[in-house]
Amino acid sequence: MDGTLLNTKPMYDLMTQTIFDEYVRLGVPKELDQQGGEKFDLEKGRDWIVENISLEAYEEIAVRTAPRMLELEMDGLTDAEEFPGVKGLLM
């Protein structure tokens, strides 16, 4: 079955923490870390890195975190269940 039709229960909190850990590694001030909601904090960290280091440094985060993100996504597949009504939709 196509994974897009499964409720994979991704571990967004661990994925977000992985990004925050990279931010800290790059020197993002702790005051910006996890103060106003995850999306807001991710954006603030991104902006700080682009302004104080470089856009390339920010883009490299995706390369460094991709294996961990994939691992977390695959862990979520272990408990995946189909969304209600998927079988009927496909038949």
pTM of the model: 0.69
List the chain domain ranges: 3-86
User: Cα separation of 79 and 50, whole Å?
Assistant: 37
User: Cα separation of 24 and 21, whole Å?
Assistant: 5
Q: What is the pLDDT of residues 4-62, one digit of tens each?
A: 666 666 788 888 889 989 998 999 987 775 565 666 678 888 999 999 999 999 999 99
HSE-up of 49 (CA within 13 Å, CB side)? 23
**Contact indicator for 76, 10 with CB cutoff of 8 Å:** yes
